[in-house]
Structure 1
Amino acid sequence: MSESLSQQVAPEQAVPEQAMPHTAASLAADLRALGLAAGDTVMVHSALRSLGFVAGSAHAVVLALLEVLGPDGTLVVPTHTAYNSDPAGWRNPPVPETWWPVIRQENPGFDPVLSPSRWVGALPEAVRTWPGALRSGHPQVSVAALGGRAAEIAGVHPVEDELGDGSPLGAVYRLGGKVLLLGCGHGNNTSLHLSECRQEQPKMDANGAAMRDPDGRARWVTWTAPATDSGDFEELGAAYDAVGPVSVGKVGNATARLMPQRDLVDFGTVWIREHRR
């Protein structure tokens, strides 16, 4: 390897203080010790840097998860595309109002195969592009699923029921799936949005995004859906951790939490009703 090339290897990853690199095999052992098992359906949220140095990076983490889940298990990750949204609502940063019509008209549109996920980490992108992975068709909050129940989870994703019972989150709920927080907190716990959608009179938001039709043409679509607000998810999650069946342990260097999604969502539904104003 040339000196110039060697300097480009993992430039963002400082070598952490650990005895040896983590591997797909060692991570699989950690996941089993945490309680993940063959045949499970699991929604994973992750911050890969928290794992420490992993030989093979995200590729090895996917291999570890698939090794534990086995052929009958299913790995689910968020592959959200928040950049495909109405520019009228952009704040970080905002864009000039004169740009809005151009952005809406010229956006190439969400394509389950081509549109990259963003702001959800490296692991979802690895799963999204994995052979055999299925991605749901929502233009903003899609998921990718890999394994035995992938079609049940990602096969149907109504635009207007983006995070509700008709979404992949609802499918994971019906299948008795689990949630794995791998080095991240409940602020990233997408399943809690299902608890928001189950409120009796949720606040509704107007949404817009570009969709790409099979013929390659893009079109702008609008819909209304329950508003989402993860601002109190850490507080909600801490309350759940105190009473719920949560398994906490180390996966690599990361603190990981594994919990039954159904129990979490039911708890969150009540908590939001009683605490959110």
Structure 2
Amino acid sequence: MVHASLGGTGTSPVRVLDALRVALGPGGTLVVPAFTPENSDTSRAHRARVEGMTEAEAREFRAAMLPFEPDATPCPSMGALAECVRTTPGAVRSAHPQTSLAGLGPRARELLSEHDPHCHLGERSPLARLYEADAQVLLLRVGFEVCSALHLAEYRMVPPPPRRTYRCVVGDKGNWISYDDLALDDTDFAVMGARIPGELLTRGEWKGKSVTLCGMRAVVDDVCGRLSGYRLRNDVKLVNRPGR
């Protein structure tokens, strides 16, 4: 599973994709996040898009939002490599209307099928199958703050995090659905990534920025073991902050 930022490298996503496929070999499968937060009116992306609009303008914008279509909806916020993978002939995409993944290779369909539309990135998502397959995670010029695999650690926290309501449009324009799922929170992923033992990571550099390779299973297990305690301690600090 690859997260990448190619801005400023002067290297086309097609060239990077070709290099990754050569490195994986004919038996390897490449997976990228193909998330579409723009498809939801409960996402940060949507709030940013309607900021400054009047209430009437925001309603009109919402009414015109296109439904998620796995074979056609772009994933602009995921970067050039993700969009390149998604649009490559033979690519497979999971069915979640907000947090789909796209893949190429012999196991892509097996790994990305049966993505429960009410489960972003938990046990009923491709992340769980990638974990079972002991997939590797490549962070190409990005850090753990965007590492989607860490969301699986969130789902496995004890006690579990709170839940929230999500909304998105599917099937046809105006066909909005609502569902409850984990309240995903990536604000402490960079901190968690900085605490992962060095022996679990292979580090390098490309085009002036860091590259990190790690095993998904080892990293998810490590973060899951410390995430609950970290968040609990920070919640206690907030409650006990003077003036609160």
The reply to whether TM is greater than 0.5 is yes
| 1:243 CA drift (Å) | 4.1
Task: Report Cα offsets for 1:66-103 as digits up to 9, x if no partner.
Answer: 01111211100011111111268743253443345544
| 1:230 CA drift (Å) | 1.1
Contact 2:137 2:216 in 1 (8 A): yes
88 and 189 in structure 1: CA distance in 2 versus 1, 3 angstrom threshold: closer
- Output the TM-score relative to the length of structure 1: 0.77
Q: Does 1:211 align with 2:170?
A: yes
Q: Aligned residue pairs: how many?
A: 228
Other-structure match for 2:152:
194
Other-structure match for 2:212:
257
1:137-152 → structure 2 map (5 Å cutoff)? 137-152=95-110
218 and 150 in structure 1: CA distance in 2 versus 1, 3 angstrom threshold: farther
Select the residue among 219, 223, 227 that pairs with 1:268: 223
Other-structure match for 2:122:
164
189 and 87 in structure 1: CA distance in 2 versus 1, 3 angstrom threshold: closer
Name stretches of at least 5 consecutive residues in structure 2 with no aligned partner: 236-244
Name stretches of at least 5 consecutive residues in structure 1 with no aligned partner: 1-42
Q: Does 1:179 align with 2:137?
A: yes
Q: Does 1:153 align with 2:111?
A: yes
Other-structure match for 1:232:
188
- Output the TM-score relative to the length of structure 2: 0.86
Task: Report Cα offsets for 1:202-259 as digits up to 9, x if no partner.
Answer: 21010000112xxx6662111111011111111100001x344100013454421000
| Percent of aligned pairs with the same amino acid | 35
1:1-277 → structure 2 map (5 Å cutoff)? 43-49=1-7, 52-54=9-11, 57-86=12-41, 90-93=46-49, 94=51, 95-99=53-57, 101-199=59-157, 200-212=159-171, 219-240=175-196, 242-276=197-231, 277=235
**Equivalents in 2 of 1:91, 1:205: separation in Å?**
16
SS in 2 for 1:139: coil
Contact 1:105 1:219 in 2 (8 A): no
| 1:139 CA drift (Å) | 0.9
